[in-house]
Structure 1
Amino acid sequence: MPKLSPLQRSRFGGTERRHEPPIDEDAPVSRDDLVKGPEEVLEDHQAHVNWRVLLISSAVILSFSLWAMLMPGEARAAMKAVVGWISTNLGWYYVLTVTIVVGFVLWVAFSKEGDVRLGPDQSRPQYKLVTWVAMLFAAGVGIDMLFYSVTGPVVQYLQPPSGAGGTALARQEAVVWTMFHYGIAGWSMYALLGMAMGYFAYRWGMPLSIRAALYPLFGKRVRGALGDGISIIALVGTVFGVATSMGIGVVLLSVGFSLLFGLEQGLALQIALVAVAVALTIAATTSGVDRGIRWISELNLWSAAAMMLYILFTGQTAFLLNALVENIGRFLVTLPERTLQTFAYEPGGAEWMGGWTLFFWAFWLAWGPFVGVFLARISRGRTLREFVIAAITAPVLCDFIIVSFFGNSALFEVLQGNTAFAKLAAESPEEGWYALLAMFPAPMFLIGLATLSGLLFYLTSANSGAMVTSNFSTSIPDPSHDGPKWLRIFWAVLTALLAIAMLLAGGVTTMEYATLIFALPVTIIAYLVMASFYKALRMERADREGQVLRRRSIAPTGGHVPERSWKQRLERLRAFPSLRQVTQFLDRTVRPALDDVAAEFRAQGYAVEQTVVPGASGVDEPVLRVMLDAFRAFHYHVAVVEAPVPMFSGRMSRETDLYYRLEMFTQTGSGGYDLMGLTRQQVIDDVLERYEAHLAFLTHSMESDTASVLTPRMPPAG
């Protein structure tokens, strides 16, 4: 068995040199690195209800609901006063926060770390691109878009935030403002929280939660009161966002049901629609028809597409297409200016901002954790770059089509002199929306189709909201699992109660007030997530640059790929081993080699762990870990990976022939090479090569001035 050289022993530490703990003991730094995250974020590995989060968040929401129902006038006046203060004094803060979020996600997408995957390096997407993009759209589009798609452009044309209404400039800006409010800003918030939660869940094995995404900042403290406080903020904000969407939805749908079935409009019908959403959520939970809810989610896309095509081809087709192209162009050209616009020099600018831009920014912030969980669940295996680019382009384009077709159809009527419709759309958005539909051919057919589409959006949001809020109040180790069914029912009922309370306290206006207020604490979470995720990406960069440093200065074999003899290389070109052959090689060569290395490490005073993990192929895979005190442990995992046999002359394909590889994995993914065919000595050499590369990574990390759980400061000499 080969001995470690004196040079290796001095570099490895052994009994002669051990790392000291970081000197900044007061900083929020855990002694363990990210690989310890699953143990430190979770109290145990069994799913259980977090009663502190559940009880406190429920108490906040229930107290607000009772206040709004018992004293609606006082509640509305108090919220109006708070919103006025926020609009005047903190409007800049909302604007700046959203701008920073947009810049951050774009930086992630176009940086070198954009190649990092939401999962191990070898992971690949579960869904095809078209399916995935369709699911992205379904995740973030709610019935509120239909509500504002007509009233938004009409109001901005008649009463723009600056300048006179009814002018040529107001016409150009009217639809673009609504597109801006439903554009990149909101989806950037979704992308931020989605990629952060997905990264820590799928790449580091942590729960799919906000607190796990903050582990690099706070270490094991995310498991205690601090993490619970963060979860409560995210949960309360999410419930208010979902309740607002439900409230807006029933206000709109009540008009459609009145037109279709002759029902009397009013609060009673709206409350009945809220009850329908709760009943369907309970039915889906208790009777196992979740597949039906997923079917509804897909059906709403087709119904929305049918509605758009009907409006396009039975309406002003040429005008709508020309306007869509111009709207998108103007949106792109004016986006930087619009993003930082606060209307500080305009009389009444703060009031306009509070009623429009700030409300939408707060709405996206409140919906961010909700939609982020769903985006993460469907995006395992995607790179950060494709995740961000897809999230801020494909669904945004769909949003633009809906807003542009509805908004420009409404503007066309206003420009023809239909002042009665303009007044109705501005003062009663729900009636204005249906009034526009009634102007198309076969109006009852379109009204029925539009009501169906809105109902499907409404039911999807209500059911998904109940599922996500139950997850937020539960500690769930497995990202693919959900909270208990009874808790899902509880949140469906409580969210419905909140929606009814806001309807009683003043309807849509009160919902806008509440969203703007309760989303304010969520902005803090956005900043913490960006800081935490940035530190994690620094670790990815340090790992890569440490490998480059290792290859330049130390590697005797020209890199990390194990050196093979020419006969081994020739034999490897034609070998496509079966699972049985790979398993035999693993048992006869790799495991003994790892045992030899582990024994020598222990003999020289190292703390070594040898474990096995179940592989996807059914083979137990060996893992060797060398502890390095306060620093990130060395991790060497040999995994059985299925691969397609290369296609030679078109005779073979993935469906007809597979072979297996033995790939080496660190904490951050595959080394990209196959150990099959190596000798026992070559495997040992590869372990030592990797260990030296890991020390180079730590050396590079400790050169950083900032201490964190990822890159602790270098202890002082002596």
Structure 2
Amino acid sequence: MKKISNVFYITLAIVLATVILAATMPAGFEEVTNNIKNLITTTFGWYYLILVTVIIVFCIFLIFSPIGAIKLGKTTDKPDYSNGTWFAMLFSAGMGIGLVFWGAAEPLAHYVTPALADPETDQAFKESMRYSFFHWGLHAWGIYAIIALCLAYFKFRKDEPGLISSTLKPVFGDRVYGPLGTSIDVLAVFATIVGVATTLGFGAAQINGGLTFLFDIPNNFLAQSIIIVIVTVLFMISASTGLGKGIKYLSNTNMVLGILLFILMFIAGPTILTLNIFTDTIGGYIQNIAQMSFRIAPLNADHREWINEWTIFYWAWWLSWGPFVGIFIARVSRGRTIREFMIGVLLLPSIVSFLWFAIFGTAAIDVQASGLVDLTQFQTEEILFAIFNELPWSAALSMVAVFLISTFFITSADSATFVLGMQTTNGSLTPPNPVKLTWGLAQSTVALILLYSGGLQALENALIIAALPFSIIMALMLFSIYKSLNIEKKELGLHFRPQMPKKKNKS
């Protein structure tokens, strides 16, 4: 396998060292990661908020700028996938499994322990939905969009290798082909492994929660380990079939199951309340987005702790998932203009996320407010199924949800093996199967070790730690793509204002 780069061996060694350390000293590993996480959120919270907000502003600028007419590829390139398949693939890789896990649990958590309002009040209801929209909307997809844009632009238009380091050539020049570039790619690959492993841990926990409700299977580490092993075998089989088969078919399956669960829940839940809450929350989100984007609560320790546990955690999660999702979206987006790309990646998935949270979050809070059952007594991964238990067609809803989580699980892991393979074989668009399978085993092992060493809290700690160094690379990518696009804008004669025709001289 001559394609394998030094990034493969260096990152694999770091992953193995981390796994051994966490497996042999789980309590100490959890304590150390928790201390580092607290230090990062306390010291760099302001930095995360500013960086992600700048990313959003830049994405919106590109939509309306003449730069948006530039194609991600050569002038004659056409999109490789239809709009429907393209959207299904980017959404499945982007956050499908996270939406199922948090769609009901997060609004409920904000309702019971709100950011500002009194707990379990009408104000808390509206605030909980607004912050759920905030955490899963434009800011999340803006991070993905910029990374994907940089990779697609430099790969398909500038013929650079499909590597994170290659996107920084306008900043560092040919040094990206040496040790500096290797270090950048190692950081990106390691952040990807931690981000994907965290999501796999969430997915395994929720599948376990669903099986507990459906079949009374114990909800513990052993059961979650068996789930991860089974899913690992399935996604490795899928990974061996290539991008045009396994991931494509799984993504389309995800969309069918997701739409089915979406419709069933919309009908079975409080339909009119859901529509009203969605409409009201969209207005509140637009009205308060600037304030929420910069809210750091420097003089209120309780409010600051809430921001650290939720907003900063999410920004770190999206940053750590950024290389994986960005590379995958870039790979399937050749032939689209920057404007078309940005609208597709930034706006459409955000709207779907809003609708998802409106349906599942409203149902969760409605059940909690009714007093029929206290949903806070359940573990996070069990909340969705506890809600189903209070609705019509509960068994059908639970079965569809378990299948959807499973297919999202497989798709995310499958997509990640492709991306990790690509990043460790000098940007190859067809990484060898042994490389993909190695990373498949690595990310599943990391997920198991993190669950073993501290459960979901250890997963969250690892995310925030891995995201910090990559966030610096992300800031440099912003500068790099702007510099390159600005040069090309001048070369192509693109302007914000159309040139007025010259007046003819009167003879």
Please say if 1:380 is aligned against 2:330: no
Q: Is the 8 A contact 2:89 2:248 kept in 1?
A: no
Structure number having the greater strand percentage: 1
Corresponding residue for residue 533 of structure 1 = 481
Corresponding residue for residue 185 of structure 1 = 139
Please say if 1:300 is aligned against 2:254: yes
Q: Is the 8 A contact 1:284 1:290 kept in 2?
A: no
- Distance in 2 between the 1:546 and 1:314 partners? 52
Corresponding residue for residue 4 of structure 2 = 49
Q: Is the 8 A contact 1:424 1:431 kept in 2?
A: no
Corresponding residue for residue 636 of structure 1 = none
Corresponding residue for residue 500 of structure 1 = 448
Alignment coverage as a number of residue pairs: 497
Please say if 1:291 is aligned against 2:239: no
**Pairwise CA distance, 1:93:** 0.8
- Distance in 2 between the 1:184 and 1:193 partners? 14
The one-character-per-residue Cα deviations of 1:599-623 (angstroms, maximum 9, x if unpaired) are xxxxxxxxxxxxxxxxxxxxxxxxx
Could you tell me which runs of 5 or more consecutive residues in structure 1 were left unpaired when the two chains were aligned.
1-45, 553-718
Please say if 1:215 is aligned against 2:166: no
**Pairwise CA distance, 1:506:** 1.3
2:359 aligned to which of 382, 387, 405: 405
Q: Is the 8 A contact 1:91 1:350 kept in 2?
A: no
Please say if 1:454 is aligned against 2:405: yes
Q: Is the 8 A contact 1:137 1:398 kept in 2?
A: no
- Distance in 1 between the 2:144 and 2:54 partners? 14
Q: Is the 8 A contact 1:137 1:395 kept in 2?
A: yes
The equivalences for 1:413-424 within 5 A come to: 413-418=367-372, 420-421=374-375, 423-424=376-377
The one-character-per-residue Cα deviations of 1:70-95 (angstroms, maximum 9, x if unpaired) are 11111111111111111211110111
The one-character-per-residue Cα deviations of 1:689-708 (angstroms, maximum 9, x if unpaired) are xxxxxxxxxxxxxxxxxxxx
- TM-score, normalised to structure 1, is 0.67
2:274 aligned to which of 320, 323, 333: 320
Secondary structure at 1:207 match in 2: coil
Q: Is the 8 A contact 1:87 1:351 kept in 2?
A: no
- Distance in 1 between the 2:90 and 2:241 partners? 27
Corresponding residue for residue 396 of structure 2 = 445
Residues 99-108 or 518-527, more deviating: 99-108
- Distance in 2 between the 1:474 and 1:261 partners? 43
**Pairwise CA distance, 1:533:** 0.6
Please say if 1:268 is aligned against 2:238: no
- Distance in 2 between the 1:501 and 1:128 partners? 39
**Pairwise CA distance, 1:293:** 4.2
The one-character-per-residue Cα deviations of 1:264-308 (angstroms, maximum 9, x if unpaired) are 221111011111122123323457797244312211111011001
**CA separation of 1:98 and 1:431: change in aligned 2, threshold 3 A:** same
CA RMSD across the alignment: 2.1
Secondary structure at 1:392 match in 2: helix
- TM-score, normalised to structure 2, is 0.94
**CA separation of 1:136 and 1:286: change in aligned 2, threshold 3 A:** closer
Secondary structure at 1:367 match in 2: helix
AA aligned to 1:494 is A
- Distance in 1 between the 2:92 and 2:485 partners? 29
Q: Is the 8 A contact 2:191 2:320 kept in 1?
A: yes
The one-character-per-residue Cα deviations of 1:175-204 (angstroms, maximum 9, x if unpaired) are 111121111011001110111110111111
**CA separation of 1:118 and 1:288: change in aligned 2, threshold 3 A:** closer
The equivalences for 1:26-37 within 5 A come to: none
Structure with more contact order per residue of length (Cα contacts < 8 Å, sep ≥ 6):
2
Which is greater in Rg? 1
- Distance in 2 between the 1:229 and 1:143 partners? 30
Please say if 1:92 is aligned against 2:30: no
Counting aligned pairs with the same residue, the percent is 30
AA aligned to 1:450 is A
Q: Is the 8 A contact 1:283 1:289 kept in 2?
A: no
**Pairwise CA distance, 1:263:** 2.5
AA aligned to 1:135 is M
- Distance in 2 between the 1:451 and 1:215 partners? 44
AA aligned to 1:75 is F
Could you tell me which runs of 5 or more consecutive residues in structure 2 were left unpaired when the two chains were aligned.
501-507
Structure number having the greater helix percentage: 2
- Distance in 2 between the 1:132 and 1:286 partners? 21
Corresponding residue for residue 211 of structure 2 = 257
The one-character-per-residue Cα deviations of 1:370-393 (angstroms, maximum 9, x if unpaired) are 111121122212111111122111
